[in-house]
Amino acid sequence: MAMLRDGDLAAAFDHASPTYDLMTSASPGYFAHLRRSARRLGLPDGGAGLTVLDLGCGTGTSTRALLRAAPLATVIGVDASAGMLARARAKTWPDGVSFVHASVESMDEVKANGPYDAVFAAYLLRNVADPDVVLRDIHGLLRPGGRLSVHEYSLGPRRRDRLVWSGVINGFVLPWARLNGNAPLYRHLHHSVMRFDTPDALTARMRQAGFARVRRLPMPGWQTGITHTFVAERPHPRPTRPPQP
């Protein structure tokens, strides 16, 4: 199957946006796992004085998770789908939350207002054409010491994990998607996960992009071995030694 990319993927999310929250609410652990990955950013003092980017924010569920972890932070949600953002903006938000319509490959407005203290990227990297470019851009958006939490499906070598993932998709997600006219998006979802990096490959990508203290943390329940948090930070530059006399 050819993967959906760029405008085609944004259009598929636009089409699915009216029922997207209903779909995710039927997934056991979906909201709790997002909140867990947001907490793993480890933002101090409730996020007071910090500005956090929520890249690929969709309908704002990940934004809500960030606010649970850091209620005092300024949060900027970014998404390429106008339909998903319309759903996010229609919800009630505290002061300090805003949304930007942009793809992660083209965020001129966002880049101009950096650097940022943290980035949360949920279900994003497997949906971009070049994850290495996006990771390098995220690295550039962060201040030194800034933190990244990637919440993502990433299947390891265990056959069990691939069987569970395919079983959930074929047994529930795709039949439901066909009823709602959204089968192309959810077929993309299925195959994007099957073809994406293993956990070891994704942590290697993050290190190659310049991140330090990269760690992979598991999720509980049926998504153990399927969904993970990958946390990292942009390192501080090494001090230069003064020239020797």
In terms of Cα–Cα distance, which of 113, 80, 74, 118 is closest to 93? 74
Q: Provide the edge-to-edge strand list for the sheet that holds 97-101.
A: 97-101, 74-79, 51-55, 116-122, 142-153, 227-233, 212-218
pLDDT recorded at residue 2: 62
Domain ranges of the chain: 6-233
User: pLDDT (tens digit, 9 = 90+) per residue, 62-118?
Assistant: 999 999 999 999 999 999 999 999 999 999 999 999 999 999 998 998 999 999 999
Element (H, E) at 222: none
How far CA 224 is from CA of 10, 91, 201, 231, in Å, comes to 29, 31, 17, 17
pLDDT recorded at residue 146: 98
User: pLDDT (tens digit, 9 = 90+) per residue, 33-65?
Assistant: 999 999 999 999 999 999 999 999 999 999 999
Residue 209, pLDDT > 80, answer: yes
pLDDT recorded at residue 132: 97
Residue 215, pLDDT > 70, answer: yes
CA 136/CA 108 separation, integer angstroms: 15
pLDDT recorded at residue 1: 58
Q: What's this model's pTM, rounded to 2 decimal places?
A: 0.94
User: pLDDT (tens digit, 9 = 90+) per residue, 171-198?
Assistant: 999 998 999 899 999 999 999 999 999 9
Fold that domain 6-233 belongs to in CATH? Rossmann fold (3.40.50)
Residue 234, pLDDT > 90, answer: yes
